[in-house]
Amino acid sequence: MISLDAAELARRIHAREVSSVEVTRAHLQRIEAVDGPSDGSAGPDGVHAFLHVDADGALAAAEAADRAIAEGGPVSPLAGVPVALKDNLTTTDMPTTCASRILDGWRPPYDATVVARLRAAGLVPLGKTNLDEFAMGSSTENSAFGPTRNPWDLTRVPGGSGGGSSASVAAGEAPLALGSDTGGSIRQPGAVTGTVGVKPTYGTVSRYGLVAFSSSLDQIGPCARSVLDAALLHEVVGGHDRCDQTSVNAPLPPVVEAALAGARGDLAGVRVGVVGELSGEGYQPGVLAAFTDAVRTLGELGAEVVEVSCPSFSYALPAYYLIAPSEASSNLARFDAMRYGLRVGDDGERSTDEVMSLTREAGFGAEVKRRIMIGTHALSAGSYDALYGKAQKARTLIVRDFTAAFETCDVLVSPTTPTTAFAIGERVDDPLAMYLADLCTIPANLAGNAALSVPCGTSPDDGLPVGLQVMAPALADDRAYRVAAAYETARSSTPDAAPRIPELRALETTR
């Protein structure tokens, strides 16, 4: 049961061949078998995708879904299917920690819109997944509760910041998960764990109840093992929400229809642009080999493949690492020791400022502090024009590169990441090396358009998963889904198609 796609699980649950309770139990057992304790104390003996598992809540939701199905009324296409939630989404019945000590003991008073929509559609939340603290990072090592491990190789990172969500899907602990993508945190972990990850067009999935990191970049999206599953989840959570001021009031692109059409059809007439700037030096040869193979497959499917140049993409990383920390330095000001969770040194003697300072000192990790300092500096009067203002200009140039490229291409493609999953510990002392993991994913966040990552086999040099990134214009998410689904179907019939769920025998038998 843990290896079936969400679409197939839903079909069996709705046909009453199996109950949602049975499916939920199977996933809870899998979590028990491979995840280790939620504080990460199992070390290398656990995937540690989850920070919190709510077995009772999940089984109650599953029972409710089974009841609704038994009553024979209309149910949503994913009713009864379990789902994991990145722990920066607010939930009333589970803690929300953002993998930070500063939120110790905080219980959100409301559900994020996406969580409320999942519940209303009868999905079954299993628990909250690990992330880099406040979604700042590319490896999930910045979690205050210990790293998540890549199910393909437990000595490697699962990517980040949403390593927990992608790893839970890759390990068969959840058929579906939600993540958030500010600079790549859904697509990049998707790529290195061999799963699908989608960053929808900015503003098309409500951010209400997503703890803000960089508000002009943050976007919630689905993690899954197939393109169709991602589309099904996308349709449940997407669409206008009056609680989010940046929510786009337009119909959601027909992503499920596109995924189905892609899986059935070819790509005749689709113009695919290969972004010249997103390959070459610094890219792992095995990643480029897998990517080149993928592009060949797109051509064989009938797509017209052309080279395109997006010269301003070379500014994307530096622009992002000014804009994202600037917005973060403002957003994180709310963690003031008064309103949420942790409060340190409140002895009746110390001033508010002292308590705030002691609390932040103890509650924030090193990377979060680094971002707050960089952002505060970039926004200060003496640096604003030279740093923040410049970054915003670079952002405009990147938007123009996309606009020009989409005049001649329907979608753009690149590798999702320059390398496969790196070793735990390898980049923790080198922030710049860590930042490079999001080289290919950041442009779409800066421009706000849609982008996804779909597995494109394994790298011949280390046998680890590689992701193909497909980018589409804003509000044309369906195009990316169509191309990815066609590619996925073609690939799954090749003899070297990688298994969907890696073997975790050592863990499975020790427990």
Pick the catalytic residue: 19, 100, 138, 161? 161
Q: Which of 113, 138, 414, 459 binds ligand GLN (CB under 6 A)?
A: 138
Residue 437: CB minimum distance to ligand GLN, A: 6
User: Are the beta carbons of 275 and 308 closer than 8 angstroms?
Assistant: yes
Lookup: tokens for 274? 């290969």
Quick one: DSSP state of residue 259? H
User: Is residue 161 annotated as a catalytic residue, yes or no?
Assistant: yes
Radius of gyration in angstroms for the set of CA atoms belonging to the chain, rounded to a whole number: 21
Nearer to ligand GLN, 379 or 497 (CB): 379
> Per residue in 358-381, is it b (16+ CB within 10 Å) or e — as a string?
bbbeebbbebbeebbebbbbbbee
Nearer to ligand GLN, 134 or 340 (CB): 134
Nearer to ligand GLN, 137 or 473 (CB): 137
Q: Which residue has the tokens 């490896």?
A: 139
Q: Applying CB under 6 A, does 147 fall inside the site for ligand GLN?
A: no
3-state secondary structure of 224: strand
Nearer to ligand GLN, 181 or 410 (CB): 181
Neighbour tally for 396: CB within 10 Å:
13
Q: Which of 151, 183, 194, 341 binds ligand GLN (CB under 6 A)?
A: 183
C-alpha 167/C-alpha 158 separation (Å) is 6
3-state secondary structure of 140: coil
Pick the catalytic residue: 138, 168, 180, 185? 185
Nearer to ligand GLN, 69 or 177 (CB): 177
Residues 157-176 that bind ligand GLN (CB under 6 A): 161
Q: Which of 129, 165, 182, 193 binds ligand GLN (CB under 6 A)?
A: 182
Nearer to ligand GLN, 137 or 209 (CB): 137
Q: Applying CB under 6 A, does 417 fall inside the site for ligand GLN?
A: no
C-alpha 43/C-alpha 142 separation (Å) is 15
Lookup: tokens for 371? 């971002």
Pick the catalytic residue: 19, 20, 76, 86? 86
3-state secondary structure of 162: coil
Strands 196-199 and 220-224: antiparallel
User: Is residue 312 annotated as a catalytic residue, yes or no?
Assistant: no
Task: Tell me the per-residue interface mask from 97 to 136 with ligand GLN, x by CB under 6 A, - otherwise.
Answer: --------------------------------------xx
User: Are the beta carbons of 126 and 83 closer than 8 angstroms?
Assistant: yes
User: Is residue 165 annotated as a catalytic residue, yes or no?
Assistant: no
Q: Applying CB under 6 A, does 368 fall inside the site for ligand GLN?
A: no
Residues 433-462 that bind ligand GLN (CB under 6 A): 438
Task: Tell me the per-residue interface mask from 208 to 227 with ligand GLN, x by CB under 6 A, - otherwise.
Answer: -----x--------------
Q: Applying CB under 6 A, does 184 fall inside the site for ligand GLN?
A: yes
C-alpha 140/C-alpha 367 separation (Å) is 12
C-alpha 69/C-alpha 9 separation (Å) is 14
Active site residues: 86, 161, 185
Q: Which residues lie near ligand GLN (CB under 6 A)?
A: 135-138, 161, 181-185, 213, 324, 438
